[in-house]
Structure 1
Amino acid sequence: MTTASGPTGPTGPGPGSSAHPGPADRAARGRAARKRVPRTAHAGWLAPVDRQDPVAVLEKQGRDRLPELLPIRYGRMAASPFAFLRGAAAVFAADLATRPHTGLTVQLCGDAHLLNFGLYASPERALLFDLNDFDETFPGPFEWDVERLAASVAVAARENGHTDAKAHRAALESAAAYRTAMRRLARMGELDAWYERIEADRLLPLVRSARRRRRVEASLTRARRHTSLQALDKLTEVVDGRRRIVHDPPLLEPAGAPDAAALRKIFSDYRSTLAEERRLLLDRYRFVDAARKVVGVGSVGTRCFIVLLAGRDLDDPLFLQVKEAGAAVLEEHLPSGPYDHPGHRVVAGQRLLQAAADIFLGWMTGPQGRAYYWRQLRDMKGSADVAGMSPAELRAYAALCGTALARAHARSGDRIAIAAYLGGADTFDRAVADFALAYADQTAADHTALGAAVAAGVIPAAPDV
């Protein structure tokens, strides 16, 4: 495999390699990267004259999606600049590819905006805070995720009515927290860095007001209740004595006979990608029903299903999500990755990036040769209310996301080299914050372009769906 950092890939040479550099050599590699790409080079954004039209990028991405769902995607993206940013990972990737990069490779999230961090349950049922979306995961230069996060912070701050100075400061906090965490992780042993995780209770000290603290506590409580049992009440009904998934078109529709039959057939293929003890657990459940579900913003139009399984009885449910996996938006801009199967890419990336991954993560190939991955639909998942954050709260939350991102990158990349590149000063932080504010202008312009295409009838959009 060849990546942006060379033939060793994101993890670098293994313990059996004859080239196993020590900490000093790894730090020297990071400092050498400054000569290729100075930390100040991350500042600012000026669109190249041959920049791809953002609406054309989105239309190209939609060619292989379900056409009847694309108006929902465009309607959701047209709602605000932040919604546009969420759905425009392909646009962002194309823009980053025009800039020089460090060559310090990690397993990227690929879409590390603010709302792709959140709460979920570890296999031990501890509530953790971490990255929670991996559709675009791919090996690439570490700074691309940092810049995506910082840009989302700046766009969110503006949308919340914060001044540009406060937006810049919040974006700076995300990059500074990343740098600080990476430097701390660089001093740790391999196992200590690998086992690092962020407990959900870290959210509470970030909140100053008693009112906001109560809201965060309520969010943690709701996340702990977001289980398959809670989904059973919300997503199903009993008809003629049989439990079935509710009909709520166009967002939730029962799978037709061909899709349901295919899901039953490929279930065994998915099962084979699980560890042996998890196969045994899965075998204790039986297939009850399936439905097509519309999810997210950028993912709308991809083929996605939910499957209801029953364990001991119908009061012991398990909901799994079956989501189509295509090429990552980064793939056309970087050397090839280690996985030929897109579903395997997503699953392997999630297992590598998250401190503790879903025990039911797996992948398989479905009808027409399309790749899918499986995971739990609800496993104590929760997200922050970014839209309601004050400037101080957004800064604190941005810092928490930056810390979580560094922890994730440290598992796959050379954390010592990255820490040495970043250094002890705030040079990198300020450069990334400058980029974030400039890219917020670009996002506003792109959002306006999408709105104009919708108004002109070039792009069909279904608002408020």
Structure 2
Amino acid sequence: MTTATREEPAEGGTEAQVQHPTAPERAAKGRAARATAPRASQSALDLPDRDPVALLEEQAATRVPELVPIRYGRMLVSPFTFYRGAAKIMAHDLAATPTSGLQAQLCGDAHLSNFGGFASAERSLVFDLNDFDESLPGRFEWDVKRLATSFEICARDRDFDDAVRRSAVATVVRAYREAMRGFAAMGDLAVWYSRIDVEAILEQLRRDNDKKQAKNVERAEAKARTKDSLKAFSRLTHEVDGELRIRSDPPLLVPIDELVDDSRAAEMKEELASMFRKYRSSLQYDRRKLLEGYRLVDVARKVVGVGS
């Protein structure tokens, strides 16, 4: 059986062929990848000679200098918070590890705290990755290893015993494997629209009569539903001379007018307004119409997370 292809516009307006391997061809590629990187080889970690602090300092050179101590302070809270902020160190360590050659669009920072519940476009509560500022094409093993390791480190931080930690990590990687196997048997549209709906999780827990976990999910769901953009809006803004402005809470939240002089602030606001208009014009019609109901009013620098 031959591999199907279709013509698709490529960058610059030229036509490029997109490969569409059949299910047996995809399976054969996966089996062949095991010869390149046997599954047993994934347990090996031959750490390269490196200085973790030097790697962080190298990264700090690209950050806002006055915010670097805040980042380091957050990382120093616990081994897990250090791990959260040390994606560069882990990427450096994993770069030399065996790889199957199978590429994916990675999260790039797939630790457990970057998963959570949030409202979908249809306003239903879903559970998924919620941080993509380090997303990039790369080796799928990196995301899996970073996620599994995050469970081990977090469990150690919480003083869980060896058996609990091992069970947690094994459950995570097994769930990944089973999900990938399921996706492989699905059509593209089904995979595209696949999601973990919180209500579906609750229904399954109730069917399994797992009252304790169902109660935990219900509490988390109730808490998530109290968080919305209006609550953040009221917390982060205030009225100045009849106009809404972003509050000042340095160094974590600083309006642009306090960071640069008036002339530069005006220039930056116009640059951002232009970017906003260009982004809006790139959207499909229904989303563009929605966004046209909003305008840029104020700009600020906000510090979030541990690794940012």
What TM-score do you get using the length of structure 1 for normalisation? 0.57
1:422-441 equivalences under 5 Å are none
SS of alignment partner, residue 299 of structure 2: strand
Deviation at 1:218, TM superposition (A): 3.0
Matched residue, 1:239: 240
Q: Deviations over 1:294-328 (max 9, x none)?
A: 111111xxxxxxxxxxxxxxxxxxxxxxxxxxxxx
CA distance in 2, matches of 1:171, 1:13: 38
Matched residue, 1:27: 27
The 3 A distance-change label for structure 1 pair 96 and 238 is same
Q: What amino acid maps onto 1:88 in structure 2?
A: A
Matched residue, 1:82: 80
SS of alignment partner, residue 298 of structure 2: strand
Match of 2:276 among 256, 263, 267: 267
Match of 2:94 among 96, 99, 118: 96
Deviation at 1:125, TM superposition (A): 1.0
Q: Deviations over 1:342-380 (max 9, x none)?
A: xxxxxxxxxxxxxxxxxxxxxxxxxxxxxxxxxxxxxxx
CA distance in 1, matches of 2:69, 2:209: 38
Residues matched between the structures, number: 285
CA distance in 2, matches of 1:134, 1:234: 24
Match of 1:186 among 161, 184, 187: 184
Q: What amino acid maps onto 1:113 in structure 2?
A: H
Matched residue, 2:12: none
Residue 168 in structure 1 maps to residue 166 in structure 2: yes
The 3 A distance-change label for structure 1 pair 13 and 74 is farther
1:140-155 equivalences under 5 Å are 140-155=138-153
Q: Percent identity?
A: 51
Q: Deviations over 1:43-97 (max 9, x none)?
A: 143423x2x2111111111112110100000000111111111111111111111
Q: What amino acid maps onto 1:248 in structure 2?
A: D
The 3 A distance-change label for structure 1 pair 120 and 18 is closer
CA distance in 1, matches of 2:4, 2:251: 49
Matched residue, 1:40: 40
**Higher relative helix content:** 2
For structure 1, the 5+ residue unaligned runs are: 1-11, 300-465
Q: What amino acid maps onto 2:99 in structure 1?
A: H
CA distance in 2, matches of 1:207, 1:55: 48
CA distance in 2, matches of 1:124, 1:106: 27
The 3 A distance-change label for structure 1 pair 28 and 176 is same
Moved over 4 A (4+): 16-19, 206-210, 212-215
Matched residue, 2:228: 227
CA distance in 2, matches of 1:215, 1:19: 45
CA distance in 1, matches of 2:209, 2:81: 25
SS of alignment partner, residue 289 of structure 1: coil
Deviation at 1:251, TM superposition (A): 0.9
The 3 A distance-change label for structure 1 pair 69 and 26 is same
Check conservation: 2:45, 2:97, Cα contact below 8 A: no
Decide which moves more: 134-143 or 18-27: 18-27
CA distance in 2, matches of 1:230, 1:89: 31
Matched residue, 1:132: 130
CA distance in 2, matches of 1:207, 1:174: 22
RMSD: 2.3
Q: What amino acid maps onto 2:166 in structure 1?
A: H
Check conservation: 2:46, 2:97, Cα contact below 8 A: no
SS of alignment partner, residue 168 of structure 1: helix
SS of alignment partner, residue 130 of structure 1: strand
Check conservation: 2:127, 2:198, Cα contact below 8 A: yes
CA distance in 2, matches of 1:114, 1:154: 10
CA distance in 1, matches of 2:249, 2:21: 57
Of structures 1 and 2, the one with the larger relative CO (CA 8 A, separation 6+) is: 1
Q: What amino acid maps onto 1:65 in structure 2?
A: R
Q: What amino acid maps onto 1:28 in structure 2?
A: A
Deviation at 1:20, TM superposition (A): 3.8
CA distance in 2, matches of 1:193, 1:72: 40
Q: Deviations over 1:413-441 (max 9, x none)?
A: xxxxxxxxxxxxxxxxxxxxxxxxxxxxx
The 3 A distance-change label for structure 1 pair 194 and 75 is same
For structure 2, the 5+ residue unaligned runs are: 8-16
The 3 A distance-change label for structure 1 pair 14 and 85 is farther
Deviation at 1:176, TM superposition (A): 0.6
Q: Deviations over 1:206-257 (max 9, x none)?
A: 99564x6545323212322322212222112223333222221111112214
CA distance in 2, matches of 1:270, 1:144: 31
Matched residue, 1:403: none
SS of alignment partner, residue 296 of structure 2: strand
